[in-house]
């Protein structure tokens, strides 16, 4: 089974970088080098478990998604959900994002299904962010949630 | 009783804007305005930063054309150092710029304007989107996405990231191109060229079928501004600026660093977006258009063979006169897209492209520096004033979308008067107003340096400001 974890957000705005923190947490367990500032992970695809970090979703990512069986999207939420960690199963969704320059995960799955013949099973993992000021360090609560998500994903991969 | 119709926010552009349409008592449009109601103030909060940080800071203005800001900023920083980057560095910067032009133009034509053009202005808004587009023409949509991916790949191979790369620095670039990366990009050039040509064929076919719409949709005279090579070919990375009038007569040809001698900015109280214009002709006679149509009307030719062949067809549209129809922006955009792919190949085949002579450093030599580039949407200026330590004292950014501000307002006004019946406001008419704005591919995030949400809401007010009707989608 091929698995892809996509973290997304802005790592220069503290907790908005949770996606990168989860991706690098998993890469540590996988024995892979961390993704650095200038590396989104595309050059390192091809393992059974792959990781990417992007600032925003763009349509061309759909072609990549179609190569996987399972995809986890990891992003920050700003408190719109009561849970510290919200797990949302995703289905292909044709609804267009209102902002023109990025697409939503569900829309990406829809593009993958329609144009590339396959949409993976997918889940969105939203981790509560508390501090979105300038900086690269996660707030303590978010950092704790990141560790929990890394554990959880790691266990799922082992299963 | 007079009515006011508001389209807010306008969809499938980047940023937040609204359109106000004023209807008189007899139900006809009196006036329409594009209002940009967001403000971020990048120019102000950059004051105090060190100038060499600016290529990284200002690219954050935008997620779709960060490379334009990145490079214009680097050019302004070159000027502060008083150095000329080594030729290989300039080639590499231009290569990254071509990547951005390809991804930006391809996205605009196919994914943003494509639904209007290929599904129809009057199509159900529920399907008049990129999903509807790939239901109608999956092959073309896959090609469009491939083109975007190709452009993003060029940016990433040079600057590490597809969005907000880290590459250009004052005096050059921070890494050389490897033979592997050169070959990987080159391997796809022919295919991408054929994809753009397929897109051009689709647009031309659409143009043939929609001649009457093209001839009445926001057609108006204006000046045009764009960068040109010494022999007046369209230039996107470096060259002089040429300003022509509505009869294509050259008004000025100048070094972009001297823009303050030629360009002023007007402020109107009803919008945050300023209105640049040509000083000598004054306001509003001195307003001009930029971007793909502006550049093709300003220049005499394209510098690559396939784009030149297409340019000759473009020129025949009005027997060598300027092409004024706003919808022709899309055709012009694809001609430039073709140029950018051809130019990518030229750059990659240049013997200097793999050179490691990529940086010329020096101390702060000049207290101010100007960088100019043709962003996908038009001419972009970065102008910095620094103290003796290189700390920014003042910043001025004139962004492509700002240059087109007056033109967009005129386009909105024209389309509203042509298509909107105040007694029966249709979704198709409102979409045409949005399409008039979209043709300019505005980036309001760039021009006001802010981001916004873009559901669409149309509110009809009577002359007393009372709401009498509301049409919403995506809210």
CATH code at B284? 1.10.645.10
- Per the structure, the complete domain to which residue B319 belongs is given by 53-410
Report residue A24's pLDDT band, with 50, 70 and 90 as the boundaries.
very high
Pairwise pLDDT comparison (B70 vs B273), residue with the higher score: B70
CA triple B8-B14-B16, angle to 5 deg: 30
Report residue B26's pLDDT band, with 50, 70 and 90 as the boundaries.
confident
| Mutation choice for A interface testing from B100, B163, B185, B188 by most A CBs within 10 A | B163
Which CATH number belongs to the domain containing residue A54 in this structure? 3.40.50.1450
What mean pLDDT comes out for the span B335-361? 97
Helix (H, G, I), strand (E, B) or coil at B126: coil
For residue B446, what is the enclosing H or E element?
A: helix B444-447
List helix spans (H) across B46-137. 54-58, 66-81, 87-106, 114, 130-136
Helix axis angle for B87-106 and B179-209, nearest 10°, is 40
Identify whether B282 is part of a domain.
Answer: yes
Backbone angles phi, psi at B97, to 5 degrees: -65, -40
Record: contact A115-B134, CB cut-off 8 A: yes
**Domain count across chain B:** 1
Tell me what pLDDT residue A22 has. Answer: 97
Record: contact A114-B112, CB cut-off 8 A: no
Identify whether B444 is part of a domain.
Answer: no
Specify whether the CB–CB gap between B167 and B175 falls below 8 A: yes
| Position B38 pLDDT exceeds 90 | no
| Position B58 pLDDT exceeds 70 | yes
Tokens at A58, concatenated: 């763009």
What mean pLDDT comes out for the span B413-425? 81
Query: Which residues on chain B place their C-beta less than 8 Å from a C-beta of chain A?
Result: 11-14, 63-64, 107, 111-112, 129-131, 134-135, 138, 141-142, 145-146, 148-149, 152, 156, 159-164, 166, 451, 453-455, 474
Q: Which of A39, A56, A63 sits opposite B160 (nearest CB)?
A: A39
Tell me what pLDDT residue A98 has. Answer: 44
Separation CA A59–CA A116 (nearest Å) = 12
Q: Give the number of beta-carbon pairs within 8 Å between A and B.
A: 75
Specify whether the CB–CB gap between B227 and B239 falls below 8 A: yes
Separation CA A77–CA B286 (nearest Å) = 47
Tell me what pLDDT residue B467 has. Answer: 54
Based on its alpha-carbon atoms, the radius of gyration of chain B, rounded to whole angstroms, reads 22
Report residue A96's pLDDT band, with 50, 70 and 90 as the boundaries.
low
Q: Which residues pair with A8 in a beta bridge?
A: A54
Residue of chain A whose alpha carbon sits nearest to that of B57: A12
**Domain count across chain A:** 1
- Mean pLDDT, chain A, rounded, equals 90
| Position B246 pLDDT exceeds 90 | yes
| Position B374 pLDDT exceeds 80 | yes
Q: What is the pLDDT of residues B195-215, one digit of tens each?
A: 999 999 999 999 999 999 999
| Position B450 pLDDT exceeds 50 | no
Query: Which residues on chain A place their C-beta less than 8 Å from a C-beta of chain B?
Result: 37-40, 42, 54-56, 58-60, 62-63, 94, 96, 98-102, 107, 110-111, 114-116
Q: What is this model's ipTM?
A: 0.76
**DSSP letter string over chain A?**
--EEEEEES-TTBGGGGHHHHHHHHHHHHHT-PPP-TT--SGGG--SSEEEEEESS--TTHHHHHTT-SEEEEEEEE-SSSSSSEEEEEE----PPPSSTT---HHHHHHHHHHHHS---EEEEEEEE----SSBSPPPHHHHHHHHHHHHHHHHHHH-
Tokens at A159, concatenated: 């299963």
For residue B276, what is the enclosing H or E element?
A: strand B275-278
Report residue A85's pLDDT band, with 50, 70 and 90 as the boundaries.
very high
- Mean pLDDT, chain B, rounded, equals 87
Beta strands B467-473; B17-23: pairing state:
unpaired
Tokens at B145, concatenated: 């996405």
Specify whether the CB–CB gap between A127 and A77 falls below 8 A: yes
Residue of chain B whose alpha carbon sits nearest to that of A61: B149
Question: What distances in angstroms separate CA A56 from CA A68, A99, B162, B163, one per listed residue?
Answer: 19, 11, 10, 8
| Mutation choice for A interface testing from B15, B132, B146, B160 by most A CBs within 10 A | B160
- Per the structure, the complete domain to which residue A133 belongs is given by 3-158
Tell me what pLDDT residue B451 has. Answer: 33
What mean pLDDT comes out for the span B162-189? 94
Record: contact B161-A55, CB cut-off 8 A: yes
What mean pLDDT comes out for the span A127-152? 94
Record: contact A58-B111, CB cut-off 8 A: no
Strongest mean pLDDT among A9-13, A60-64, B267-271, B342-346: B342-346
Record: contact A59-B145, CB cut-off 8 A: yes
Q: Which of B130, B159, B451 sits opposite A96 (nearest CB)?
A: B130
Pairwise pLDDT comparison (B221 vs B471), residue with the higher score: B221
């Amino acid at each position: 089974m091929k698995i892809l974890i996509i973290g997304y957000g802005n790592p220069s705005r503290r907790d908005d970088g949770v996606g990168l923190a989860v991706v690098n947490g998993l890469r540590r367990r996988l024995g892979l080098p961390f993704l650095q500032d200038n590396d989104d992970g595309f050059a390192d695809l091809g393992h059974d478990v792959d990781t990417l970090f992007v600032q925003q979703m763009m349509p061309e990512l759909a072609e990549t998604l179609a190569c996987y069986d399972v995809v986890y999207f990891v992003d920050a939420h700003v408190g719109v959900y009561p849970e510290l960690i919200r797990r949302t199963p995703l289905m292909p969704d044709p609804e267009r994002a209102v902002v023109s320059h990025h697409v939503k995960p569900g829309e990406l799955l829809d593009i993958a299904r329609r144009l590339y013949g396959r949409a993976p099973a997918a889940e969105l993992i939203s981790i509560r962010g508390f501090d979105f000021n300038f900086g690269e360090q996660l707030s303590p609560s978010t950092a704790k949630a990141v560790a929990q998500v890394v554990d959880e994903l790691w266990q799922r991969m082992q299963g | 009783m007079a009515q006011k119709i508001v389209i807010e926010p306008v969809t499938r552009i980047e940023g937040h804007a609204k359109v106000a349409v004023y209807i008189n008592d007899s139900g006809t449009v009196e006036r329409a305005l594009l209002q940009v109601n967001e403000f971020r103030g990048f120019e102000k909060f950059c004051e105090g930063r060190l100038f060499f940080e600016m290529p990284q800071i200002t690219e954050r203005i935008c997620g779709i054309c960060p490379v334009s800001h990145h490079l214009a900023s680097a050019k302004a920083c070159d000027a502060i150092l008083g150095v000329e980057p080594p030729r290989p560095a300039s080639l590499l910067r231009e290569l990254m710029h071509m990547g951005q032009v390809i991804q930006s133009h391809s996205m605009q034509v196919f994914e943003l304007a494509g639904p209007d053009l290929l599904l129809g202005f009057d199509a159900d808004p529920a399907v008049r989107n990129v999903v509807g587009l790939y239901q109608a023409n999956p092959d073309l949509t896959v090609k469009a996405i491939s083109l975007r991916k190709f452009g993003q790949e060029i940016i990433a191979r040079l600057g590490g990231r597809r969005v907000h790369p880290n590459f250009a620095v004052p005096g050059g670039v921070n890494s050389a191109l490897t033979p592997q990366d050169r070959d990987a990009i080159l391997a796809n050039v022919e295919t991408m060229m054929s994809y753009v040509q397929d897109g051009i064929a689709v647009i031309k076919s659409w143009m043939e079928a929609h001649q009457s719409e093209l001839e009445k949709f926001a057609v108006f005279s204006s000046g045009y501004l764009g960068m040109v090579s010494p022999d007046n070919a369209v230039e996107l990375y470096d060259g002089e600026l040429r300003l022509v009038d509505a009869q294509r007569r050259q008004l000025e040809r100048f070094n972009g660093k001297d823009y303050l001698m030629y360009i002023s900015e007007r402020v109107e109280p009803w919008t945050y977006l300023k209105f640049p214009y040509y000083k000598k002709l004054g306001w509003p006679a001195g307003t001009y258009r930029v971007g793909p149509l502006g550049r093709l009307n300003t220049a005499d030719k394209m510098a690559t063979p396939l784009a030149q062949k297409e340019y000759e067809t473009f020129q025949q549209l009005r027997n060598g006169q300027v092409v004024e129809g706003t919808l022709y922006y899309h055709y012009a955009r694809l001609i430039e897209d073709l140029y950018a792919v051809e130019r990518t190949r030229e750059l990659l085949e240049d013997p200097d492209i793999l050179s490691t002579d990529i940086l010329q450093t020096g101390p702060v030599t000049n207290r101010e520096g100007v960088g100019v580039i043709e962003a996908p949407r038009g001419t972009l200026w970065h102008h910095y004033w620094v103290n003796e330590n290189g700390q920014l004292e003042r910043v001025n950014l004139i962004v492509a979308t700002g240059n087109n501000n007056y033109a967009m307002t005129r386009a909105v006004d024209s389309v509203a008067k042509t298509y909107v019946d105040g007694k029966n406001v249709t979704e198709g008419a409102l979409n045409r107003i949005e399409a008039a704005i979209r043709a300019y591919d505005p980036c309001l995030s760039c021009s006001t340096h802010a981001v916004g949400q873009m559901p669409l809401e149309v509110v009809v007010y009577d002359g007393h400001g009372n709401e009498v009707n509301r049409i919403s989608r995506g809210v």
